[in-house]
Amino acid sequence: MAGEDNENGGGYLCDPPCLSGAFCAHYRQGWLEGVMIIIINGSLGVGKTSVAEHLTTKFNRAVHLDGDAIGDVHPFTIYDEVRITHLYRTLAHLIAFHQKNGYPNFVINYVFESHTSLQKLLDLLRPLDNDVQAYWLTCRAEEQEKRIRARRRDQIGWELERFVELQEIQSKAAEKGFIGEEVDTTGLSAEEVAERIWRMVDDGF
């Protein structure tokens, strides 16, 4: 497949170009079969960003969207619905833009503390792509603490307290609703977790 945008900006044409032009049958039957958005949820320090980076490379064409980086605004308040809504709308706008420029797959990582919070993003994304899959990374507390300490960040004290708080919040949230298909990352590298999720994605087709 392709090297050139079609004149409608909606994807890539075959090489050499098919006579049918925009959205040829090869495009529809090939690329669109693999079009999807993957959401990686999990508490602080569980490995969301690293797993998302590895997952992104498994697609032929994909974009990694780091929710923490994209939502890094000043001033920053964790529990600010206006900020969160702005982040979700920004993610939707970015996906729509990338789709128009030939990128069909996306991997998003972010912390969702409730099923309602995740659902708000899902409601914005599903008009853009019917196949949106969410995964919730978990880990034994002792191992996750080691991962956080290994990062050697300035706010390590706060991070060690916050990850325990988030683990409890997300565990309770999972009892009330869907916050992602659980993936236990204990004893696994980020690459191994990405491979496990990739197999789960493949089984879903």
Backbone torsions φ then ψ of 41, nearest 5 degrees: -105, 160
**Do 116 and 133 belong to one domain?**
yes
Q: Number of folded domains in the chain?
A: 2
pLDDT of res. 10: 39
**Do 88 and 163 belong to one domain?**
yes
Amino acid found at 89: R
Backbone torsions φ then ψ of 50, nearest 5 degrees: -65, -40
Residues in CB range of 187: below 8 A, 6 or more apart: 143
99: how many CB neighbours lie within 10 A of its CB? 19
Q: Which domain holds residue 143?
A: 36-203
> If you search the block for the tokens 């992104």, which residue do you land on?
56
Which residue ranges in the chain fall short of pLDDT 50? 1-33, 205
**Do 140 and 80 belong to one domain?**
yes
**Do 99 and 187 belong to one domain?**
yes
CA distance 28 to 186: 39
pLDDT of res. 25: 41
Backbone torsions φ then ψ of 155, nearest 5 degrees: -95, 40
**Token pair of 15 as six digits:** 């090489």
pLDDT of res. 204: 60
**Do 8 and 73 belong to one domain?**
no
**Do 43 and 108 belong to one domain?**
yes
CATH number at residue 116: 3.40.50.300
